[in-house]
Chain A
Amino acid sequence: MKKYAYFPGCSLEKMALSYHDSALETTRILGIELEELDDWNCCGATTYFHLDEILANTLVARNLAMAEKQNLDFVAPCSACYKNAYFTNKYMKEDADLAEHINYALEADDLRLSGNLSVHHLIEIFVDEIGLDAIKDKVSIPLNGLRIAPYYGCQIVRPRKNGENIENPQFFEELLTAIGADPVDFAYKTRCCGGSLLLTNRRAALAMIRVLLQNTLDSGAEVIATTCPLCQVNLECYQTQVNEEFGTKYSMPVVYFTQLLGLAIGSPPRKLGFGKELISATPFLSRFLVKEAK
C-alpha cells in the first residue's frame, strides 16, 4: 500500500467535508493510504501572492518540508493548494538563492526543504498511481448512462507544468469512462469559475458561473463533477444568486469526482458525504442505489 502525505487544506475541514470523506474512503478501498500531514498550515490560495511572493512560497514550503521530513510524497485535493505546492517545490529545487532565503525562515520551525519530493493533485493518484484498469476492476455499480460534465477548472491544468495538454486535457473524461459514466463534451471545461472574485467582485463572478452552468446544461450534463472545493462551492452554492440575478432556473447538482467514483466502487453514499448538497443529488443518485434499497 503506497502512502502519501495528505494535505487537506482549509476548505476540506468543513466546507468541503464531503470531498475529504470521499477522498479517504475511495483511496482506502483502492489501496492507497493518505496520511494527513500533522500541523499543516493554510497554503494561502491566491491571496498571499497579493502581499509578498517569498512569504507565499515560505508558507507553502512549511507544509512540503513536513512531508519531506517523513519521506512521503505530497498530495492535495484542492487545485489551488496543488498549484502552490507544485510550483514552490519546483522553485525550491531550481533556485538556490530562493531556497536559502526560505530555509532560513523554515529553521524557525526546525524544518528544511530540498524540493526532492513529488507533488500530486488527488486525481493523479487515481489516474496515474492506481490506474484506470485497477479502478475498472473494482467497479461494482457502473454509472451507466450518467451524463457528467468533467469540470477541470483552472489551477489543476494551469500554469503548464511539463508539456501536458492544457487546452483539451482528457484524463478526467477517461476516469469517468472507467467508472462506466458518460462524460459530456463541453467547451468551457477549463474556464475559470471566478475563484475568490465571488467575494471580491460579485457581479463578474456570478456572470462567470452562469456561463459555465449554461454550457454544461447545453452539453446535456445531469451533474457537474469537480476536482476543487472552490469550484464546487462557487458552482453549487451560488446557483440561487445566479438565478435571481439573471432570471435563470438552474438546478444543477455539483459533486466531487471522488463521490462519483466511490458510488461506482460500491461505497455507501453516507460514507461519501452525500446529503450535504444544497442542490440535491438524489435525482441521479437514486438510479444507482436500487440494489441497496432492496
Chain B
Amino acid sequence: MATRPTFRQEISNLVYSPHGEPFSNCIHCGTCSGTCPVAEFMDETPRRLIGMINADMKEEVLACNTYWFCASCYHCTVRCPSNIDITAVMYAVKRYSIWHKTYSDDLVGPVFSETFMKTIARSGRSYEPILATTYLFGFGAKEFFEEVQGATKLMLKGRIPVLPSKIKHLKNFQNMVKRIIFLGEEG
C-alpha cells in the first residue's frame, strides 16, 4: 500500500538530481553556517535547517525564515565536504513554501518571486518599476522613501526604463511556458 512521503522525502524530491549528494549525507560539520554571509540574520543556520529537514520537523522548518534569506551565492555549496548542494536545498524549500502557501505574510521574498514570474509571463522581460511598486508594499515607510529617493537619482541619470520592453514572439513564448506550468487564462 502506498504511504504518504515524509517531509524529508518531499523536499528531496524537489531537488534536481545532478545537484550533488542527498542531504541525508550531512555530517553536521557547520562549514555551511560558518561560510554563509546571511547566517546571522537567519532564525536557524543552514546546518540546523538541514538537520531539521532530515528529522522531518516540517512545521519548524516551514516557520523559519532561513531559506527565504538565502541569497543563492553558492558559497556553502562549493565548500560542503559531503558535496551537498545546500543552495539547491534552500531553493527546494522555497518552492515547497510557495506551492503550499506556507510562508509567513511578513516575508517579502515569496511575493517578490511571484510578481517577478508574472511579469515575465506577461512580457518576456523584467521591468524594474512594476516590480518595485509591488515589493515596496512589503516595506515600512522609511524604506519606501529611501527607495523613491534612490529611484529618483537613477531616473536623473537615465538608468530607469520609462516603458517596459516586450519580446516579439510573446504568444509562442507564453505557449512554451504553458507546456511546463499552468498559467491560468490571463496569460
Q: How many angstroms from the CA of A108 to the CA of B108 in the assembled complex?
A: 33
Contacts of A155 on B, CB cut-off 8 Å? 72-74
Partner of B180, one of A55, A205, A211: A55
Tell me which of A44-52, A135-143, A259-267 binds B.
A44-52
Given contacts A15-B154, A200-B107, contact A192 B75 (CB under 8 A): yes
Interface residues in A26-52 (C-beta closer than 8 Å to B): 38-42, 44-52
> Considering the chains assembled together, what is the distance between the CA atoms of A205 and B41 in angstroms?
10
Q: Is the Cβ of B173 less than 8 Å from the Cβ of A47? A: no
> How many residues does chain A have at the interface if contact means C-beta atoms less than 8 Å apart?
69
Q: How large is the interface on B (under 10, 10 to 19, 20 to 34, 35 or more residues)?
A: 35 or more
B101 / chain A contacts, CB cutoff of 8 Å: none
Asked whether A104 lies within 8 Å of B77 as measured between CB atoms, the reply is no
Query: Whole-angstrom distance between the alpha carbons of A204 and B95 in the complex?
Result: 22
Expressed in whole angstroms, the Cα–Cα distance for A101 and B179 within the complex equals: 9
In the assembled complex, B9 has its CB within 8 A of some CB on chain A: no
Q: Give Cα A50–Cα B91 distance, bound, in whole angstroms.
A: 6
Do residues B180 and A200 form an inter-chain contact, with CB atoms below 8 A?
A: no
Query: B160 to A14, Cβ gap below 8 A?
Result: yes
Chain A CB within 8 A of B126 CB: yes
- Asked if residues B167 and A40 are in contact (CB atoms below 8 Å), the reply is yes
Q: How many pairs, one residue from A and one from B, have CB atoms within 8 Å of each other in the complex?
A: 188
CA distance A274 to B37 in the complex (A): 31
Chain B's closest residue to A192 (CB) is B73
The contact string, 1 if C-beta is below 8 Å from chain A, for chain B 113-153, is: 11011001000111110010001001100010010011001
Cβ contact within 8 Å between B181 and A52: yes
Asked if residues B41 and A204 are in contact (CB atoms below 8 Å), the reply is yes
Roughly how many angstroms separate A55 CA and B73 CA in the complex, as a whole number? 21
Is A110 in contact with B172, judged by CB distance below 8 angstroms? yes
* Chain A residue with the shortest CB-CB distance to B20: A159
Q: How far is the CB of B173 from chain A (nearest CB, A)?
A: 6
In contact, A104 and B179 (Cβ under 8 angstroms): yes
Question: Counting chain B CB atoms within 10 Å of each CB, which of A62, A199, A205, A277 scores highest?
Answer: A199
* A55 partner residues in chain B, CB cutoff 8 A: 177, 180-181
Instruction: Find residues 146-199 in chain A having any chain B CB closer than 8 Å to their own CB.
Output: 154-155, 158-160, 166, 190-192, 194-197, 199
Chain A residue nearest to B99 (CB atoms) is A51
Whether the Cβ atoms of B177 and A58 lie closer than 8 Å is yes
Residues B139 and A202 in contact, CB atoms below 8 Å apart: yes
User: Is B7 on the interface with A (CB-CB < 8 A)?
Assistant: no
18 CB-based A-B contacts, threshold 8 Å = A10-B127, A16-B159, A41-B120, A47-B117, A49-B94, A50-B95, A50-B109, A51-B95, A55-B180, A58-B177, A105-B177, A192-B73, A200-B108, A202-B139, A208-B71, A237-B150, A241-B146, A244-B146
Residues of B within 8 A of A (CB): 14, 16, 18, 37-38, 41, 68-69, 71-75, 77-78, 85, 87, 91, 94-95, 98, 107-110, 112-114, 116-117, 120, 124-128, 131, 135, 138-139, 143, 146, 149-150, 153-154, 157-161, 165, 167-169, 172-173, 175-181
- Further contacts, 9 of them, CB under 8 A, given A108-B179, A190-B75: A15-B128, A42-B124, A154-B72, A154-B75, A166-B78, A192-B75, A194-B71, A195-B73, A241-B150
